[in-house]
Amino acid sequence: MAPSGCFPVYNLQFDLQVTDSVIRGTAWHFSDSFNYVKQNLVGVYRADSQTIALRETGIIGQQLKPDCIPCSKNYQLTYHKASGTKTTDEQIRGVWFTTGGVAQDGKTSCDPGTVVLNRLTKQDSERTDRSPTLRNKTNALFKEIMVDSGLVVIDLFDNGQIDGDTISVYVNEKPVVFRQMLKTQAVSLSVLVDRQKSVQDVVMVGENLGTIPPNTALMIVTAGKERYQLYLKADEKQNALVRFIYRDKQSGSPKN
Other CB atoms within 10 A of residue 116 CB: 12
Distance CA 213, CA 164 (A): 10
pLDDT for res 253:
54
Give the closest residue to 169 by CA, choosing from 147, 149, 186: 186
Domain 132-246 sits in CATH at 2.60.40
pLDDT for res 199:
93
- Three-state DSSP at 16 gives strand
pLDDT for res 42:
95
- Three-state DSSP at 21 gives coil
Distance CA 152, CA 243 (A): 12
- Three-state DSSP at 18 gives strand
- Three-state DSSP at 27 gives strand
What pTM does this model have? 0.51
Which ranges of the chain does DSSP label H, i.e. alpha helix? Answer: 122-128, 132-135
pLDDT for res 128:
41
140 contacts: CB under 8 Å, gap ≥ 6: 238, 239, 240, 241
Give the closest residue to 206 by CA, choosing from 133, 128, 131: 133
Domain range list for the chain: 11-128, 132-246
| pLDDT tens sequence for the chain (256 residues) | 444 456 666 778 888 889 989 999 888 887 655 567 888 999 999 999 999 999 999 888 777 777 888 889 999 999 988 765 554 568 899 999 998 888 888 888 888 989 988 876 544 444 344 455 565 789 999 999 999 877 888 999 998 788 888 898 999 888 888 778 898 888 888 888 887 789 999 999 998 888 888 999 999 999 888 999 999 999 989 999 999 999 876 655 565 5
- The secondary structure of residue 88, as a DSSP letter, is G
pLDDT for res 122:
44
Distance CA 34, CA 6 (A): 12
Note whether 188 and 153 are within 8 A (CB).
yes
